[in-house]
Amino acid sequence: MFQTVVFPVVYGFVIFMAGMKVMEAALGKWAGPLLSAFLQKATASPLKGLLFSTGITAVLQSSTAVTVITMGLVNAGLLTYERTLGIILGSNIGTCLTTELIGLQIGRIALPLLTVSLIVWAAAVFFSESSPPGIRRIQHLMMPVQFLSLAIAGFALVMLGIRVMQKIGPALEQSGLFSWFLDRAADSVWWGIAAGAVLTALMHSSAAVIGLAIALASSGTLPVDVGIAIVLGANVGTCVTAVLASIGSSASGRFVAWTHVVLNVGGALVFMPLIPQLHWAIAAITGSEGAQIAHAQTLFNVISSLAALPLCYLPIWKKAAHA
């Protein structure tokens, strides 16, 4: 059991999280100044805030990071919480990029992609430090190239980690414990939601949990319906980090965190009885079980955010912002 299940999960998860952190750090260095420069203009309306946040979350690859950054800006008085509503909605959409890419099952090119990106990064470091003749004109481009190549290397590690975790499928299928869990999940969707929420709260990464669900579904071990329930639970569990970050925050900062909670929990409760319909819709798009779970994550977040967007235009938020 250790060699066939525990070790691949731990080893694959370590690679996955290392890749996520490298990708977040590299893209954060590259996109951080853009975030500060365009923030006020980009949040002029809830729709603009949603579009801006979708893009910046897709770049930073962490809805939690964007939510925590937003709380910090509100606490510093740089944003009113009226302007944060669109950001919160968009952050949930932008984070779907990772799971959609995982769902494409492009892990087969992970090692070549990692090799090429590291070679490009090493070349950019060399040219930025040695400044050989003919390179000085474009030397200012070397730093962005370093960050982007490291981000691609991080993404390759994410794909590699998923490939390693996929190897536990056959062993889990023979495990009595996993069969017991699937039986409980078949009786009640709450088991799947609880599993997704608890695992995400512990790992502080919904992408990691959904990535594992995609890996298991792709190997035929996890039914898609249970995988969708895990997706709903993961979107609830991802709120824990923001709530923890709100401790000791201002009233406006707590508002940002709890708005994130209300959106994700409310969306999960609305979608919970619609899991069969959601499964039918995504099965019409693709026959790949892993891709179906990735599409379920995207549909859930897009529909939830767009449904809540009109509420952001209610006059009560302007009054609250000036209270």
Q: Say yes or no to pLDDT of 317 above 80.
A: no
Q: What's the confidence (pLDDT) of residue 128?
A: 74
Q: Say yes or no to pLDDT of 170 above 80.
A: no
State phi, psi for 167 to the nearest 5 degrees.
-70, -10
CA distances from 40 to 83, 134, 256 (A): 9, 39, 17
Q: What's the confidence (pLDDT) of residue 134?
A: 58
What is the tens place of the pLDDT at every residue in 181-220? 666 766 678 888 888 888 777 666 777 788 878 888 887 7
CA distances from 76 to 69, 71, 87, 90, 274 (A): 11, 9, 17, 21, 40
Q: How confident is the model at residue 8 (pLDDT cuts 50, 70, 90)?
A: confident
Is-contact 304 311, C-beta < 8 A? no
Is-contact 132 139, C-beta < 8 A? no
Counting beta carbons within 10 angstroms of the beta carbon of residue 204, is it exposed (0 to 12), middle (13 to 18) or buried (19 or more)? middle
Q: Tell me how far apart the alpha carbons of residues 254 and 71 are, in angstroms, rounded to a whole number.
A: 8
- How many CA atoms lie within 13 Å of 151's alpha carbon, on the beta-carbon side? 19
Q: How confident is the model at residue 33 (pLDDT cuts 50, 70, 90)?
A: low
Residues across the chain: 323
CA distances from 130 to 122, 137, 139, 148, 318 (A): 12, 13, 10, 20, 54
Alpha-helical regions (H) of 43-109: 46-60, 63-75, 84-94, 96-103
Strands, E assignment, 101-233 = none
What is the tens place of the pLDDT at every residue in 70-99? 776 676 666 777 777 888 888 888 878 777
Q: Percent of the chain, pLDDT > 90?
A: 1
Mean pLDDT for the stretch of residues 110-124: 86
| Beta carbons within 10 angstroms of residue 160's beta carbon | 20
Mean pLDDT for the stretch of residues 228-246: 82
**Matching residue, tokens 């709450």:** 190
Range of the domain at 312: 2-321
Q: Tell me how far apart the alpha carbons of residues 117 and 218 are, in angstroms, rounded to a whole number.
A: 27
What is the tens place of the pLDDT at every residue in 35-76? 555 666 777 788 888 888 888 777 766 676 677 667 766 766
> How confident is the prediction for the chain on average, in pLDDT?
76
CA distances from 81 to 66, 192, 246, 261, 282 (A): 14, 33, 14, 15, 35
Mean pLDDT for the stretch of residues 129-147: 69
Q: What's the confidence (pLDDT) of residue 141?
A: 72
What is the tens place of the pLDDT at every residue in 216-236? 888 777 888 888 998 898 888
Q: What's the confidence (pLDDT) of residue 58?
A: 78
Is-contact 224 288, C-beta < 8 A? no
Q: What's the confidence (pLDDT) of residue 119?
A: 92
Q: Say yes or no to pLDDT of 272 above 80.
A: yes
Q: What's the confidence (pLDDT) of residue 29?
A: 72
Domain total of the chain: 1
Q: How confident is the model at residue 237 (pLDDT cuts 50, 70, 90)?
A: confident
Name the more confident of 16 and 265: 265
Q: Say yes or no to pLDDT of 101 above 70.
A: yes
